[in-house]
A and B are shown apart, each in its own frame.
Chain A
């Protein structure tokens, strides 16, 4: 056999392998697509927000007494397929305080994986006020990082009023939601114990983001109830983060009444712009034109730039 036929063999091998390589790539696009899709989401916004603030309790949540309808397993089992998962979740919450193991069994009947994890987190949260260690143990058993974090977040919120230090410590296990957790847990604490909230934030624990959002939380939570109360809290904040606290104040007050919030901001002197900035940001979803107008009216150039940047985000 001469050189030419052997070269032909080599080139035939090359062609076959290249064909195999690209053919396989085209044939198995799903595996690669699955690994690429999340990067797009992670790079843009976020996928699932933390627990919404002020969300109404589900039927049967909390005490297990239920507000309107007491669900039963028979009701969930006979419900139309689209509603069954939601029914099992509500039933699990209703059952959690009295019989957590039974509640977990009800969670297992949920067909959707995400909702099944959420259900377990709900059971822990409901159980936490009376059986905190058991609740933490249940959180640890959740094998989804996201829902394990949410579970600890929820358990922290459940104890915020009764044991502030323990509640804030739960945030250490809230994974990606850690800073959200501290923000909201300290916010909840401030509603019943302003001194405890000031004490926790004044310790300046954690990274910069953790330290500054600690002051933002109570500003927002207290302003939902009373702007004056929130302003008194913000005046006690670390001077470095007072402006941020007033931003939270503006946001929280605007959730109730944007006009009253703007009028109230005028009384805060050097922090008036921070407050108006918070009002503008809160209006992003409901009234973007007004948001822009408020941003344009800010006198502090840095606040104005940040405010306008948020408009286009």
Chain B
């Protein structure tokens, strides 16, 4: 009996796809209503993000960036879901989800400062509704329920979207966040980018559940599994999730994708836990290749357009690194000053002590 129930539940979670690996539309009815310019824009963002990722890896190796979690392979998942949002929506990212917050308005040089561990990286500009990338796996998920309830209480037509990985779906906070949002009918979207490995642990070892999407059932919210290498599918499910969220129905989106690079640039070696065959298999599903082909077939993309984006990305990154380099270095006294609105006695004394040290 129990087995049958699980099978029945799991049978509802087939992967949603619009564009297959060859760039062919396999689900015409589901095609999102995007103009030619919008289709070009999401391609532009994917190409830009891949160049930025390559540069970030190389800058990290040169010691010019700090903490960095590579994103190549996940561009459709990140950019497709983000493109379905409105400017006033809130993003609660995990540490890999820097592209979404930059496309939402965080200046690139601040993303670089975040990577270096400079506090100005977290000084989010006015009107950019994001929290800094979260390090603790799952902490942002329960917070997203809170942001969503706050938006609902303010009667704003906006949503909170949060991102984690396949490992994140094993955390208690993952369930608590979905459950709170469901109980409060709060406008939240939970995206799990299932890139197959939590550092080194394969997703099959995380849970007896065949899909992550089905975990939505236990929380009483919508759940959908989507081809995370297909930007049209990602956009489409997020757009639907956003509409549902505004009606008080949260959604869990499981985006099935792959990260080509290491977990982070801090010494992870994927050859210890992944085979070359698996890498090759996933690279055939590449989000840029299939969407490029789709656009070329419609005569919306060509090499010149691609090169234009590549040149722009390289120039922007150069400029952003320069701006990051020009940002004043942090002092211990700066860090004391950002602890509280009004410094307590102990920190006031310590501030004076450090200021004196720094003046020497």
Whether chain B is bound by chain A comes out as no
